[in-house]
Chain A
């Protein structure tokens, strides 16, 4: 047996461990462990009382077995017994076991808490530390309840030993993180701030961690820490390193404390007091200066510690974003690191520069490093570093360098790691659109994306290119020519076939004059790809063919032959079959005029924000890819449509209205690309409606939409989980609106959460007249999207499409609840789990007026409770959300801070999604 055991050496344990190590197979290991478990169990159950040492040894063995990855279901009681031993080692093992194998068994927790209580009262610093460690390690709610008020007392008591103060500070920090509601603020908070002045640097370090955490939540209470932190930092930065003795780490003065102080300062804006401010600036300058000094040691620990402080100082400079001089110096320093031989420093410099790029003071300075960053993209061996380089290029991109950056990203994409391709595709697509002066460049870029990384090009990307081409007639001819050329490649990506099919179907006529791209050539080219494509793409191609029949009468016969073939007319896929049948019929019976009307060129899409951006954000937020099935189904034609079995007989009756209405609103059947956005709740349906939507959160009546033709007003009333909305459509013109129709659409998720039933509306609105429509609404379960009201009518010769987000929000189903202060607090505590609470701190957008806020909260639907919050400036409210399936109790607190022009909003409900949504809705109102 190796002589590695030290200190108290439990021989039996060492023997057991080496036995396990000698096991040749998993089976023999399990066998040995089971033998040991049986042995320990019998010892614990035996008649002979075990002495402390044996108990300790067996508990330690159990711990070892657990750490090997096996389940342990006994021994907890023995471990708890060890806690009350007077012998340090026994107590220590007991605590270790408890810390590692926390058991929510409440009987035991009470015993454990008892032992902890005794140790905290023992005035023996070693025992107190063990107890505090245990509380911090376990951090359970029961423990927090038992000790949250005791620990602050220990922390600030005058006679507490330094090491205990440190433990108490960090223990409190941990409890504040897990059960913040149980850690009461009090007069101790002021005394904690003064620990920043403590003689003992270990105490200062621990206290700084605690204060930083507390200050992040209630900055006002810890404002005085700023001047103390600056003073402390200044003393460290200017000290000769020997002053700090053992807190000097490889010739760097107290790096941990320095970084923590710099972090604490990042909770606050730059100090207003000028002398304090200049003292801080001086510190930061000194830190920057030190970076230029030759190293005092060649050890990597020296440079790491020194640069850790430097990076944190730069983070503070960026956070303040107020000293152009410091920002530019920071940027230059990072520029040096970009070429450093240490990979770690290059990585961090790229990362840090990303934030620097967004400051107006340093954006230009960051841009000067573009060549280095591009070089990093090409030469770094480590994918994580290359990823940072991509991020930085994205951050530093503007109109002046966009062409270069996009070109470099595209060429990197050819060899990029699969794990980051999709993200690069999204970034390129966003930059290309954002900085496109010349849209031919944009079209080229997106087609290149599809060529290079077609598999990683998501639907949003190719939808977007089509929207842009349709909306900009200066690029349509170019786009048609370019896709035509790209489609010549023998193997091209299916996404290219989609874009090509769509664009040629719309604008193929623009290049048909050239015999090399005559109608027949175009058609043959597209059709040569047909059989290799998936069903949705084929469906899209069939629509392109019928568009061709309209554009090019000369290929009508050829296309009709294709549609007529068995592989189309008898296709096993219902959607394809239906399209083939209907398109064929249409082409046979409709006159040229009717064809031209039905198959007219797509009208421009309403201008709206790109959904690619939302996608990128989503991607950054979670590594999970969003489910694309829904959107695919929509492009493909709705499910309802696909179920329609009696195809042939129905054709003539609805051909003109439903199935081919490429000009119609999203609700209709096979509306191809019109509704590309309807599945993305993040995209607003039109600009106009988006701007009015938030106004309806706290009120029920008003104008929701208005343009030159139409005004839409709303009146609504809600009771429990039901609502009724009166919609008024006003014709502002001197001409009739014909074929006026509406439909309400929801995405799949919302569809199951909210029922909206529309009563019929008059199909004709006289000039200057108003008609009314009633919508009945039922809330089935909580929801966060809003249904879309699609309106369609004919004005003059043209068909108008309007989509308006209906202001039906979750809070409409509120019923206010009055309750006493006592009830409120009791419920508030019951809803204390972290996922039940959602909080948001935000800047006031409007003037902070108590009466206005009150009116808004009442309009939001809660009852306001007076005299609950000790601070009369705060608002506390309660209400119940009624849905068909359940009722959700909601408690709300809004704390205005007029000085900082900020609000803090806290929602507690029994359902996370409800808390989340209510905060989203309400926080936009102030």
Chain B
């Protein structure tokens, strides 16, 4: 196409559409959406995903065909990681995206557990953002991601002195 080409072409879809983390009891711990959908639709998907994934028998395969996408999920301890991807995505690598995220959380929290993610939910989001962006993998080197996370923590430590004050309740 030429420089001036003003005419657009059909929008395609993100290769990952969402990532959900929920507990065995179906409590949602983290949600990240890579396509624009309404809050109502999100709630519906969350409900369907938790029921569907939690109902799966152990040692079944980690992929489910669901509507026009594929669900790739894996359980780590008490948490289920559930990724909605486009049909043509590579399922095995999607599993490893989940694993890599768990590794990153592990490295940061030191043997991560559900409580870490509950109490530091904002960190869980930040780490995810260092690793994935707009539904695509941004950086696959663990070292580089870890370094980025550490350096942002360093920035926070620097800040500390100024605003560290005694908090009243709330």
Where the two chains meet, the residues of A that have a C-beta atom closer than 8 Å to any C-beta of B are: 2, 4-8, 11-12, 14-18, 21, 36, 39-40, 51-53, 60, 63-64, 67, 69, 87-89, 92-93, 96, 100, 126, 132-133, 136-137, 139-140, 163, 166-167, 170-171, 173-174, 177-182, 184-187, 201-202, 205-206, 209, 213, 216-218, 221, 245-247, 249, 254-257, 259, 263, 301, 304-305, 307-308, 311-312, 343-344, 346-348, 381-382, 384-385, 387, 623, 825, 828-829, 832, 834, 837-839, 869-871, 893, 904, 906
In the assembled complex, which residues on chain B have CB atoms less than 8 Å from the CB atom of A167?
133, 138
Residue from the list A139, A185, A257 in contact with B36, Cβ < 8 A: A139
Q: With A88-B155, A246-B144, A384-B64 as known contacts, state yes or no: A906 contacts B9, CB within 8 Å.
A: yes
In the assembled complex, which residues on chain B have CB atoms less than 8 Å from the CB atom of A133?
129, 133
In the assembled complex, which residues on chain B have CB atoms less than 8 Å from the CB atom of A179?
8, 11
* Residue B41 at the chain A interface, CB threshold 8 Å: no
Chain B at the A interface: SS class:
mixed
* Contact assessment for B159 and A89 in the assembled complex, using a CB-CB cutoff below 8 Å: yes
Residue from the list B96, B108, B162, B169 in contact with A308, Cβ < 8 A: B96
* Contact assessment for A832 and B153 in the assembled complex, using a CB-CB cutoff below 8 Å: no
> In the bound complex, how far is the Cα of B88 from the Cα of A185, in angstroms?
26
Can you pick out 23 interface pairs between chain A and chain B where the beta carbons lie within 8 Å of each other? A69-B28, A126-B155, A132-B133, A166-B133, A170-B133, A173-B134, A174-B133, A177-B12, A177-B134, A178-B11, A185-B1, A185-B5, A202-B138, A217-B9, A218-B1, A249-B96, A304-B95, A305-B96, A343-B60, A344-B63, A381-B59, A382-B60, A838-B10
Residue from the list A100, A171, A837 in contact with B8, Cβ < 8 A: A837
* Contact assessment for B6 and A623 in the assembled complex, using a CB-CB cutoff below 8 Å: no
Closest 9 A/B residue pairs (Cβ) = A181-B8, A53-B163, A174-B134, A308-B92, A136-B134, A382-B60, A88-B155, A343-B61, A246-B141
* Contact assessment for A8 and B156 in the assembled complex, using a CB-CB cutoff below 8 Å: yes
Number of inter-chain CB pairs below 8 Å: 244
* Contact assessment for B126 and A96 in the assembled complex, using a CB-CB cutoff below 8 Å: yes
Interface-central residue, B60, B65, B122, by most chain A CB under 10 Å: B122
Where the two chains meet, the residues of B that have a C-beta atom closer than 8 Å to any C-beta of A are: 1-15, 28, 30-31, 36, 43, 57, 59-65, 67, 88, 90-93, 95-96, 99-100, 108-109, 115-116, 118-123, 125-126, 129, 133-144, 148, 151-153, 155-157, 159-160, 162-163, 165, 167, 169-170
* Contact assessment for B92 and A67 in the assembled complex, using a CB-CB cutoff below 8 Å: no
Residue from the list B2, B14, B126 in contact with A92, Cβ < 8 A: B126
> In the bound complex, how far is the Cα of B118 from the Cα of A382, in angstroms?
32
Q: Which residue of B lies closest to A189 (CB)?
A: B1
> In the bound complex, how far is the Cα of B4 from the Cα of A187, in angstroms?
11
- Nearest-Cβ distance from residue B170 to partner chain A, whole angstroms: 5
* Contact assessment for B143 and A893 in the assembled complex, using a CB-CB cutoff below 8 Å: no
* Contact assessment for B12 and A6 in the assembled complex, using a CB-CB cutoff below 8 Å: no
* Contact assessment for B36 and A348 in the assembled complex, using a CB-CB cutoff below 8 Å: no
In the assembled complex, which residues on chain B have CB atoms less than 8 Å from the CB atom of A254?
140
Interface-central residue, A60, A170, A216, by most chain B CB under 10 Å: A170
In the assembled complex, which residues on chain A have CB atoms less than 8 Å from the CB atom of B123?
6-7
* Contact assessment for A385 and B1 in the assembled complex, using a CB-CB cutoff below 8 Å: no
- Nearest-Cβ distance from residue A624 to partner chain B, whole angstroms: 10
Residue from the list A18, A221, A259, A347 in contact with B90, Cβ < 8 A: A259
> In the bound complex, how far is the Cα of B134 from the Cα of A139, in angstroms?
9
> In the bound complex, how far is the Cα of B137 from the Cα of A720, in angstroms?
52
Residue from the list B6, B91, B138 in contact with A828, Cβ < 8 A: B6
Residue from the list B8, B59, B119, B153 in contact with A4, Cβ < 8 A: B119
- Nearest-Cβ distance from residue A188 to partner chain B, whole angstroms: 10
* Contact assessment for B4 and A870 in the assembled complex, using a CB-CB cutoff below 8 Å: yes
Q: With A171-B134, A247-B141 as known contacts, state yes or no: A186 contacts B170, CB within 8 Å.
A: no
> In the bound complex, how far is the Cα of B114 from the Cα of A788, in angstroms?
63
Q: With A259-B90, A344-B62 as known contacts, state yes or no: A52 contacts B170, CB within 8 Å.
A: no
- Nearest-Cβ distance from residue A872 to partner chain B, whole angstroms: 11
Residue from the list A2, A12, A69, A170 in contact with B170, Cβ < 8 A: A12
Residue from the list A7, A201, A387, A834 in contact with B11, Cβ < 8 A: A834
* Contact assessment for B1 and A202 in the assembled complex, using a CB-CB cutoff below 8 Å: no
In the assembled complex, which residues on chain B have CB atoms less than 8 Å from the CB atom of A93?
122
* Contact assessment for A96 and B139 in the assembled complex, using a CB-CB cutoff below 8 Å: no
Q: Which residue of B lies closest to A92 (CB)?
A: B126
Q: Which residue of A lies closest to B155 (CB)?
A: A88
* Contact assessment for A256 and B122 in the assembled complex, using a CB-CB cutoff below 8 Å: no
* Contact assessment for B61 and A17 in the assembled complex, using a CB-CB cutoff below 8 Å: no
Q: With A52-B163, A837-B8, A837-B10 as known contacts, state yes or no: A170 contacts B138, CB within 8 Å.
A: yes
Interface-central residue, B1, B135, B156, by most chain A CB under 10 Å: B1
- Nearest-Cβ distance from residue B64 to partner chain A, whole angstroms: 6
* Contact assessment for B139 and A202 in the assembled complex, using a CB-CB cutoff below 8 Å: yes
> In the bound complex, how far is the Cα of B92 from the Cα of A213, in angstroms?
21
> In the bound complex, how far is the Cα of B32 from the Cα of A67, in angstroms?
11
Q: Which residue of A lies closest to B160 (CB)?
A: A8
In the assembled complex, which residues on chain B have CB atoms less than 8 Å from the CB atom of A18?
119
* Contact assessment for B5 and A257 in the assembled complex, using a CB-CB cutoff below 8 Å: no
Interface-central residue, B2, B67, B88, by most chain A CB under 10 Å: B2
* Contact assessment for B5 and A184 in the assembled complex, using a CB-CB cutoff below 8 Å: yes
* Contact assessment for A307 and B92 in the assembled complex, using a CB-CB cutoff below 8 Å: yes
Q: With A93-B122, A384-B65 as known contacts, state yes or no: A825 contacts B92, CB within 8 Å.
A: no
> In the bound complex, how far is the Cα of B9 from the Cα of A217, in angstroms?
7
In the assembled complex, which residues on chain A have CB atoms less than 8 Å from the CB atom of B31?
67
* Contact assessment for B90 and A311 in the assembled complex, using a CB-CB cutoff below 8 Å: yes
* Contact assessment for B14 and A177 in the assembled complex, using a CB-CB cutoff below 8 Å: yes
* Contact assessment for B136 and A206 in the assembled complex, using a CB-CB cutoff below 8 Å: yes
In the assembled complex, which residues on chain B have CB atoms less than 8 Å from the CB atom of A893?
7
> In the bound complex, how far is the Cα of B1 from the Cα of A187, in angstroms?
11
In the assembled complex, which residues on chain B have CB atoms less than 8 Å from the CB atom of A63?
121-122
In the assembled complex, which residues on chain B have CB atoms less than 8 Å from the CB atom of A53?
162-163, 165
